[in-house]
A and B are shown apart, each in its own frame.
Chain A
Amino acid sequence: MSAVVEVIAAVLLLTGSALALVAAVGLFRMPDTYSRIHVATKPATLAVVCTVGGAMLEVPGLSPTTKLLLAVALQFWTAPVASHMIGRAAHAANIRPDEPFVIDELADVESATEATVDDA
C-alpha cells in the first residue's frame, strides 16, 4: 500500500469523524427542530461518504470495494430524502420553530387544503 494512498485514507477517516462530531455538536447549538435537520443531516452524510471512501482506499481487493461503493452511493442518495421526509412531517404536524417564521407560505397552502384555521 503506497504511502500517499495511506495518507489520503487517513485524512478522509479523520475528516469524516470530525464532521460527525460537528453534526452532533450542532444538534445542541441549534434552537429548534428545523435548523437541527439542516445541521445534523448534511455533515453526517458527507461524513459517511468521507469515512467509507477512506475505508475503500485502505482495503485491498475488489469485493469489499464494490460493496462500500454501493454503500456510499446509497447514503448519498437517500440521506437528503430522509431529511426532507422528517422536515415535511414536522411541518405537517405543526411543530413550531423557536422564533416564528418570517414567511410561511406552506402553512397558507396547508390550511387552504384542510380548511382549518392556522395561526402561522
Chain B
Amino acid sequence: MRRLVAPVLLLAAWLALWGEISVVNVVTGVAAAVIVSSFYLRAPRGRHRIHPIGLVRLLAVFVWRLVTSSATVVRTVLAPTPARLRSGVIAIPLSDPSPLVAAIVADAISLTPGTLTLEVRYPGNDDRSRPPSLYVHVLGLAAVDELRDDVRGLERLVLSAITPDRTETATTTEEASA
C-alpha cells in the first residue's frame, strides 16, 4: 500500500499539469507514473509513518513562518538605517537520526526570519545512526538558547507529522507545541 503513494502523487501532478481529467490523460498518466516510479523511486530510505493532521499543522507553520519572515524583512529594509547586525553560525544538534526529519527541519529553519541552514553534518565519520547537527546562520545573534529551543520545537512538530519507524521511539503520542 505504501508503495502506491508516490505513483498516485505523480498521477495527480500529471493530471494537474494537463488540467483536465479525461481517459487519455489518466491512461498516459498511469503509464508515466509507473515508468518513473520503477526507475527512480526504488529503495525507500527507511520507513516513516505519516500523520495527516500533523502534516497539515506543519504546512500551516511553514506558511506562517514565511509570512512573518517577509514582514521582518520589510521592517528591516525600510528602517532608516538597518542596525549593524552581528551574524554568526551556530551548531544545533537534533535528537533524531532520520535524514528526512533533518531535511524538513532545515527547510523550516530557512523559512524562519533571520535564520538559514548552512550545513547538516553527521557526527564522527558520517555516522548515520546518531543524530546530525544543523549549522544555522543567524542574522542578529541575540539569544542562542532561544533559537535552539525553537529548533527543538520544530523538530517535535516534524516528528509528530512524519515518524520514523523504530520500535523504541515513543514520539507518536507526544504533543507537539509549535
In the complex, the answer to whether B82 meets A106 with C-beta atoms within 8 Å is: no
| Min distance, Cβ A113 to any Cβ of chain B, angstroms | 8
**A26-B77, A38-B139, A43-B70 known; A62+B20 contact, CB < 8 A:** yes
Check if A63 sits within 8 Å of B73, measured CB to CB. Answer: no
Give the complex CA separation of A35 and B116 in angstroms.
10
Interface of A is mostly: helix
Q: How far is the CA of A81 from the CA of B124 in the complex (A)?
A: 25
B114 proximity list for chain A (CB < 8 A): 38
What A residues does B91 contact at CB under 8 A? Answer: 105-106, 109
CB-nearest residue of chain A to B113: A42
Closest to A105 in B: B91
- Give the contact stretch, choosing among B33-41, B44-52, B104-112, B161-169: B104-112
- For the complex, is B43 an interface residue (Cβ under 8 Å from A)? no
Q: How far is the CB of B24 from chain A (nearest CB, A)?
A: 14
Given contact pairs A29-B82, A104-B88, A23 touches B73 in the complex (Cβ within 8 A): yes
The complex places the Cα of A26 from the Cα of B139 at a distance, in Å, of 14
- Could you tell me if A70 and B88 are in contact, using CB atoms closer than 8 angstroms? no
| Bound Cα distance from A43 to B117, whole angstroms | 17
Check B89 against A107 for contact (C-beta < 8 Å).
Answer: yes
Q: Which residues of A contact B70 (CB under 8 A)?
A: 19, 22, 42-43, 46
B111 (CB) vs chain A CBs: closest residue: A80
- By a CB distance below 8 angstroms, the chain B residues around A76 are 62, 66
26 contacts between A and B (CB under 8 A): A22-B73, A22-B74, A26-B77, A29-B82, A35-B87, A35-B139, A39-B77, A42-B66, A49-B66, A62-B20, A63-B18, A66-B15, A66-B16, A80-B110, A80-B111, A84-B106, A84-B107, A87-B116, A88-B118, A88-B119, A97-B87, A99-B84, A101-B86, A101-B87, A109-B91, A109-B135
